[in-house]
Amino acid sequence: MRREIPIIITLVIGVIFLLGPIVSGNIPFTEVSFSALVRTHLSPWTTIIAAFALGLASVNLLRIHGNTISRKRTGWIYSAILIVTMVFFGVTRTWVELQPANREMAAFYGNFFNFLYNPLAGAMFALLAFYIASAAYRAFRLRSLEATILLVAAVIVMLGAAPVGALIWDYFPSLQGWLLRVPNLAGQRGIIIGAALGGFATSLRILLGLERGHLGGE
């Protein structure tokens, strides 16, 4: 029963949320709308569950990195920095939420967020540019017809976006717009459709109890 009960709960709740946006009538023998019931009484529980999941993830993070620090494993100093910053931002943000009238604390938190976190995040994304350039170099080498098409399209898009492209040829911006609006958009929609079908299939397997990975099974 330890597996059957979670599967039944998942099936019932999944069907209710699936029918919530579709069913517009009232619940039989009541004057309560089914969609209103889902929106008012059940949807807030998703926020509560997400909060518990975030708390569980934070505890697990503390446990793993605390173990790394206690055993002085390689890179333990980064684990210490992670724990200190996580606790600091968690405590300060909680203080700001509990005392919204305290402008000094809000400014103190905002300064750390704007002048510490944002520059570090920008630096991380800036470093990703070098990895993207390396991956682009390996992908754009003329080894096949597909790589050649990818290289030509990438060059046209870059020249169309850069001011020098219009100086070289007036049609580069137009070609860039066509590539982004037609082939690129078609590929993106294909990926989104495939991801949606995959998500639907996975959700259906979970609702039917065929996928039990979230229960600790194989």
Is residue 165 one of the residues assigned to a domain?
yes
- Model pLDDT, residue 218: 53
Range of the structural domain that residue 190 is part of: 140-206
What's the whole-model pTM score?
Answer: 0.58
34 alpha carbon, distance to own chain's centre? 30
Is residue 106 one of the residues assigned to a domain?
no
1 and 81 in a single domain? The answer is: yes
Secondary structure E strands in 101-190: none
Backbone angles phi, psi at 70, to 5 degrees: -65, -30
∠ CA 196-199-201 to the nearest 5 degrees? 110
DSSP character at residue 27: P
DSSP character at residue 208: T
- Model pLDDT, residue 216: 64
DSSP SS3 for 109: helix
Sign of CA dihedral 163, 166, 171, 172: negative
Residue type, 212: R
Please give the chain's pLDDT, 218 residues, in tens: 667 788 888 888 888 888 888 877 777 777 778 888 888 888 888 889 888 998 899 999 999 999 999 998 988 999 999 999 889 888 888 888 898 888 888 898 888 888 988 898 889 888 887 888 787 777 777 677 887 888 888 889 888 988 888 888 888 999 999 999 999 999 999 999 999 999 989 888 888 878 777 666 55
79 and 144 in a single domain? The answer is: no
